Amino acid sequence: MGVKAMPPTRIETPQEFFDFVVIPDVRDFRMGPDLRRAYHACTSLLSLRDWVYRKHRGRPWSDAGRSMNPFTSKAALQAALEQIDDQFSVITDVANASKHMVLEPGRGRTNLYGAANTETRSRGALGTVAIGEAAIGESITEVWVKIDDRYVHVDVSIDRAFGVWQRLMEENSW
């Protein structure tokens, strides 16, 4: 997940947006998960959808060698992404909740109420994390979002959505 050495003076393509916005935001989040970084990573991952839609709508594309229907709307691309990995619905709702504080009824992809449902949790100390996950006596921070009566690990959602985008960008030369 390396970024090119010199950032451009302008970002004009989905690939440039991926390289110079998405990758740094996801990398920053992985280096120190917190709410601000989670919101940035989710917003970047969602915004990439808009960049890809604007540049490649109506064109053939594929996922893991499987031909996909050309997308003719943002909603169609969103549905296709959610079909590839349902974590895109979590990414979308966390990004929109961070922008609007509360999601309007019917607007969300999940039943997430709003930004207040996103929180960080620390866990650690001897015996509570896997060997190698944190230094002895240190904790790790994770970001979680409450949807209905369950908690979703936003770290996992970000990693999965990023992995899908990475594959799609390479496979389709976006």
What tens digit of pLDDT does each residue of 40-67 get?
A: 999 999 999 999 999 999 999 999 999 9
Question: Rounded to an integer, what distance in angstroms lies between the CA atom of residue 44 and that of residue 11?
Answer: 13
Q: What pLDDT was estimated at residue 115?
A: 52
Q: What pLDDT was estimated at residue 107?
A: 63
Q: What pLDDT was estimated at residue 33?
A: 85
**pLDDT > 50? residue 129:** no
Q: Which of 28, 15, 154 is nearest to 89 (CA)?
A: 154
Beta strand ranges found along the chain (DSSP E):
61-63, 66-68, 118-124, 139-147, 150-153
% of the chain residues with pLDDT over 70: 75
Q: What is the average per-residue pLDDT within 92-108?
A: 70
